[in-house]
């Protein structure tokens, strides 16, 4: 099986703001050629799945729900489809980064531990055997989370001045900085100051998030140097990272941990902030916890789908028959 064919399985799910032909993805093709020529399994690394947003206007709770479940199924299905055409197979290593950012995004470490434990349980109960998890504990053992963050800051992170300079001089870095600033602003549920004060605080903190993100990327690269690197952020063609869209979303930034699943009549699902989803449907519970929303009337808020997300729908529609519906929120 040619590397170009394998790349073709990824391209319909690309998370990006541009369109590019397959030959524009040189770093990915180079990595695939090396692995295929050696007859090695393809290993993907995907930093993400950190924890739920602390803002209850965006999510149903602090534990994984339908969004994570469907995203994990999609990633497993992607590996399965690659294995069908490439016998050595493929494996997805989710580099869960909640403890990397917990102090910067206002989520306690024990909440992150609970989220990670549920991810492990989901992978096991759903039999998603092509998926694995990797986090700071695999790198630095049983030291405290604060100590782990201090270590990666000291050993892997660029300086804040370097991050600021890159955001000023590089368009892709600037977009990432602005996107993270937006997430920090939207994820803040309780703030006593003014809106402008919160904006200033989030702009300052975003530089630290970018700095820590670069550090975590370097850790992942050091421990998995032969992997093909995926990203939950939009990436331009030719980047060393390949941006991947996990589910149907209203923009290129939304993730399952910043939103809720809304299931439409007919089975299509999309990710929306809770405050929007609850206007369109009712909460459905699973295993005693709020899990997703089921649309209960004709939908007026429609997402404009790109050609790339349309190809992904068949993997997003596997929620199955909805469990018992409840009429209240979380």
Reported as a single tens digit per residue, the pLDDT across 85-140 is: 999 999 999 999 999 999 999 899 999 999 999 999 999 999 999 999 999 999 98
Identify the pLDDT of residue 16. 82
pLDDT at 312 over 70: no
CB 247 within 8 A of CB 312: yes
Confidence at residue 297, expressed as pLDDT on a 0 to 100 scale = 66
Q: Are 10 and 229 in contact (CB under 8 A)?
A: no
d(CA 241, CA 256) in angstroms, rounded, equals: 20
3-state secondary structure of 213: helix
Tokens of 124: 């096991």
Would you state the structure tokens that stand for residue 19, as one six-digit string?
């369109």
Q: For residue 2, what pLDDT is reported?
A: 86
The pLDDT, as a whole number, for residue 34 is 95
Give the Cα separation of 83 and 79 in Å (integer): 6
**Tokens 């993730």 — which residue?**
255
Kindly write down the DSSP assignment for every residue of 2-56, as one continuous string.
-HHHHHHHHGGGB--SS---GGG-HHHHHHHHHHHHHTPPEEEEEEE-----S-T
Please list, in sequence order, all residues whose beta carbon lies within 8 angstroms of the beta carbon of residue 190, skipping any fewer than 6 positions away: none
Residues in CB range of 198: below 8 A, 6 or more apart: 185, 188, 191
236 φψ region: left (φ > 0), alpha (ψ -120 to 50), beta (else): beta
Question: Is 52 exposed, middle or buried, given 0-12, 13-18 or 19+ CB atoms closer than 10 A?
Answer: buried
Instruction: Give the C-alpha distances (Å, rounded to integers) separating 271 from 64, 252, 254, 263.
Output: 14, 11, 7, 9
Using 50, 70 and 90 to split pLDDT, how confident is the model at 233? Answer: confident
pLDDT at 46 (0 to 100): 97
pLDDT at 6 over 90: yes
Distance CA 27, CA 29 (A): 6
In the structure, what pLDDT confidence band is assigned to residue 298 with cuts at 50, 70 and 90? low
pLDDT confidence tier of residue 196, bands split at 50, 70 and 90: confident
CB 231 within 8 A of CB 28: no
- The pLDDT value recorded for residue 305 is 37
Give 279's DSSP letter.
H
pLDDT per residue as tens digits for the range 36-64 = 999 999 999 999 999 999 999 999 999 99
Residue 320 reports pLDDT greater than 50: no
Domain boundaries, the chain: 3-15+24-306
Say yes or no to pLDDT of 330 above 90: no
**Residues 235-247: b if buried by 16+ CB within 10 A, e if exposed:** bebebebbbbbbb
Judged by average pLDDT, the poorest of 103-112, 155-164, 189-198, 227-236 is 189-198
Task: State how far the Cα of 149 lies from the Cα of 306, in Å rounded to an integer.
Answer: 38
Quote the percentage of the chain above a pLDDT of 70. Answer: 89
pLDDT of residue 182: 87
Which tokens sit at 117? Answer: 């434990």
What is the model's pLDDT at position 247?
86
1-40 b/e with 16+ CB inside 10 Å = b? eebeebbebbbebbbbeeeeeeeebeebbebbeebbeeee
Q: Residues 137-141: contacts with CB within 8 Å, 24+ apart?
A: 137/99, 138/223, 139/219, 139/223
């Amino acid at each position: 099986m040619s590397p170009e064919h394998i790349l073709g399985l990824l391209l319909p799910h690309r998370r990006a703001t541009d369109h590019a032909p397959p030959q524009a993805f040189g770093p990915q093709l180079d990595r695939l050629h090396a692995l295929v020529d050696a007859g090695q399994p393809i290993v993907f690394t995907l930093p993400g799945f950190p924890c739920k947003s602390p803002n209850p206007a965006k999510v149903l709770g602090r534990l994984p729900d339908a969004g994570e479940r469907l995203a994990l199924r999609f990633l497993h299905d992607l590996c399965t489809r690659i294995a069908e055409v490439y016998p050595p197979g493929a494996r997805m290593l989710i580099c869960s980064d909640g403890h990397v950012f917990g102090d910067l995004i206002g989520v306690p470490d024990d909440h992150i531990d609970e989220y990670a434990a549920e991810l492990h349980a989901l992978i096991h109960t759903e039999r998603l055997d092509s998926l694995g998890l990797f986090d700071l504990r695999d790198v630095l053992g049983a030291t405290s989370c604060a100590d782990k963050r201090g270590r990666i800051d000291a050993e892997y992170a660029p300086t804040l001045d370097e991050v600021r300079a890159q955001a000023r001089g590089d368009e892709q870095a600037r977009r990432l900085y602005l996107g993270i600033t937006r997430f920090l602003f939207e994820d803040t549920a309780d703030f006593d100051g003014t809106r402008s004060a919160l904006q200033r605080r989030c702009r300052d903190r975003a530089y630290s998030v970018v700095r820590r993100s670069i550090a975590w990327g370097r850790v992942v690269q050091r421990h998995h140097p032969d992997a093909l690197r995926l990203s939950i952020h939009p990436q331009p063609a030719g980047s060393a990272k390949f941006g991947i869209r996990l589910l149907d979303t209203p923009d290129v930034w939304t993730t399952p941990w910043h939103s809720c699943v809304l299931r439409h009549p007919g089975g299509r699902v999309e990710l929306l902030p809770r405050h929007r989803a609850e206007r369109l449907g009712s909460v459905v519970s699973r295993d005693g916890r709020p899990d997703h929303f089921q649309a209960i009337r004709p939908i007026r808020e429609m997402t404009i789908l790109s050609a790339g997300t349309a190809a992904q729908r068949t993997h997003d529609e596997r929620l199955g028959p909805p469990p018992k519906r409840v009429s209240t929120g979380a």
